[in-house]
Amino acid sequence: MRKAPEVKLSEAEQRELERWTRATTLPVRQVVRARVLLLAGQGADDTVIADSLGITRQRSGRIRDRYLKGGLKALEGDLPRSGRPHQCAKDRRVDYGKDAGIRDRLEPRVDGEDCRDQRFQCWKDMA
pLDDT given for residue 76 in this prediction: 84
Residue range 33-57, pLDDT digits in tens: 999 999 999 999 999 999 999 999 9
When pLDDT is cut at 50, 70 and 90, the band that residue 77 belongs to is confident
Nearest to 88 by CA among 45, 127, 123, 119: 123
Residue range 111-122, pLDDT digits in tens: 554 444 444 455
Specify the amino acid at residue 122: C
Fold for the domain defined by 11-76: Arc Repressor Mutant, subunit A (1.10.10)
Nearest to 14 by CA among 44, 35, 43, 45: 35
Report domain extents, the chain.
11-76, 90-126
When pLDDT is cut at 50, 70 and 90, the band that residue 127 belongs to is very low
